[in-house]
Amino acid sequence: MKIVVIGLGYVGCSLAVMLSQKHQVIAVDIDENKVEKVNKRISPIKDKLISKYLKYKRLNLLASKNLKLSLSKVSFVIIATSTDYDERNNKFNTKTVEKVVREVCNYNKKINIVIKSTVPIGFTKKLSKKYENKIFFSPEFLREGTALYDNLYPSRIIVGDKSKIGKNFAKLLVECSSVDSKKLPVKYMGSSEAEAVKLFANTYLAMRISFFNELDSFCEIKNLDTENVIFGLGHDKRIGNYYNNPSFGYGGYCLPKDTKQLLANFKEVPNTLIKATVKSNQIRKKFIADTVLKLKPRTVGVYRILMKSNSDNYRSSAIKDIIKRLKAKNIEIIIYEPSLKQKKYQNCKVIIDFNEFVNNSDLILANRKNKQLHGLGNKVFSRDLFESD
C-alpha cells in the first residue's frame, strides 16, 4: 500500500515511521530541514525510538516537499499538520488542513483522506460536504518524546468512519502496531464523535492536572504536606496513582489549545467545569508567581523552559507566563537552557554554564527537577514532588 503522510511533527513523523515498516510511505513537509533529516535517517523531532527506527530498521520511507508529485496511486493521505489556537477568533486555525484537503481533492477525487490534526468538533463533517473524496477524522493519543511508542502500543484506535474504507484504515494501524490485535480496542463512529473524543480526552487530562495543582496550592497555604495528601488519594483505585505530580501549570502543544477549543465548542451548552479548567491554569501560574514574589529574590534563575523532560517544546510552557509576571514586577530573570542557541529569550539573559547560572541566582525556579539540582536545598523553588511528568 502507498500512503502519504503530510506533516513531520510528532504525529506525522511517528505515523510515517510506523507505517513504513510494512508499506510504502512518502512523508511530505514544507520544512526542507525536516525533509533532509528524514531522508538521511535522522529524526526531525526529539524521540529516542524514532531515532532508533530510522537508524536501524528497514523502512520504506521517503520524505518530500512536493505534495502533488507524491499523490500518484495513493491509498490514503494522512494529514498531520499543526492547528494552532487562534485567540482572536476563538478557534483552531485550520487553514493548513483545508489547503491540503483542497489540493488532494483537486488532484484525485478517489483518494481517501484521514485527518489526524486536532480540529474543532464538526469540522470534518463540514469539509466532507464540499468534496467527493472520502474524508474522515481519526484522533491520535500521543505523548511528546514517546510518540512512536504510543503509536506502536496504542491504548485504543478510534476511527471516525464506519464504512469499509474506515475499517481498512483501522486494520492498517492495527497491523503496523506491536499489540496483539485481539487485545486492542477499535471503535468506529462518526467523525464529529471522534473529534469530541480527542478534545474531551485532553481536557480531562488538563482538568486532572489542574485538580492536583489546586490541591497543592491549598496544602501550601494551609501548611499541609502535599505528598501525604496525594498518597492518600492516589491509592484509591478509583482515582489512581498517576498524573498527579504538581507543576506550575499544564502546557505544551496540546492541552492549552485543546481545552480552549472544547470550551469554544461549548458556546451554546451550559458548562462550569470546562470553563473552570481553562481558568484554573491561569490561577495556578499567578499563585506560583505571587509565592515567588513573597520570597523577595533579586535575581530569579529559571531552570529549563522546556515543557517537560525528553521534549524539545517551548510552546505554551507554563514557566513562560510566570517569567512575564515576575518581569512585570521588576525581578531580574536569567535562564538556564542549554538547548537554546540565542543569548536572550523573552528579553532574559540565557546562561548555558550551570555553575555560573547557580552562582548568579538568588532563587532557582524549576517546573521539573532532576539530579542536577540535588544538593541546592532551599535555593530551588519547585512544586515537583516525584521528579516525573
Closest CA relative to residue 199, chosen from 148, 249, 124: 124
Q: With beta carbons less than 8 A apart as the criterion, state whether 44 and 34 touch.
A: yes
Q: How far is CA 386 from CA 157, 226, 242, 291, 367, in A?
A: 31, 11, 11, 21, 12
> C-alpha 90: how far from its chain's center?
19
Q: With beta carbons less than 8 A apart as the criterion, state whether 292 and 363 touch.
A: yes
Grid cell of 140 as nine digits: 491520535
Grid cell of 107 as nine digits: 488532484
Q: Which of 13, 105, 176, 254 is an active site residue?
A: 254
Q: With beta carbons less than 8 A apart as the criterion, state whether 54 and 41 touch.
A: yes
254 noted as active-site residue: yes
Over the range 76-113, which residues count as b (16 or more CB within 10 Å of their CB) and which as e?
Answer: bbbbbbbbebbeeeebbebebbeebbeebbebeeebbb
Task: Return all residues near 265 (Cβ < 8 A) that are at least 6 apart.
Answer: 120, 121, 122, 199
Closest CA relative to residue 81, chosen from 39, 42, 34, 126: 34
Q: Which SS3 state, helix, strand or coil, does residue 157 take?
A: strand
| Amino acid (one-letter) located at 255 | L
Grid cell of 287 as nine digits: 499563585
Over the range 229-259, which residues count as b (16 or more CB within 10 Å of their CB) and which as e?
Answer: ebeebeeeeeeeeeebbbbbbbbbbbbbbbb
Grid cell of 254 as nine digits: 496540546
Q: In what order do the strands lie in the sheet with 112-115?
A: 61-64, 24-28, 2-6, 76-79, 112-115, 135-137
Q: Count Cβ atoms below 10 Å from residue 322 Cβ, excluding itself.
A: 24
| Catalytic machinery residues | 254
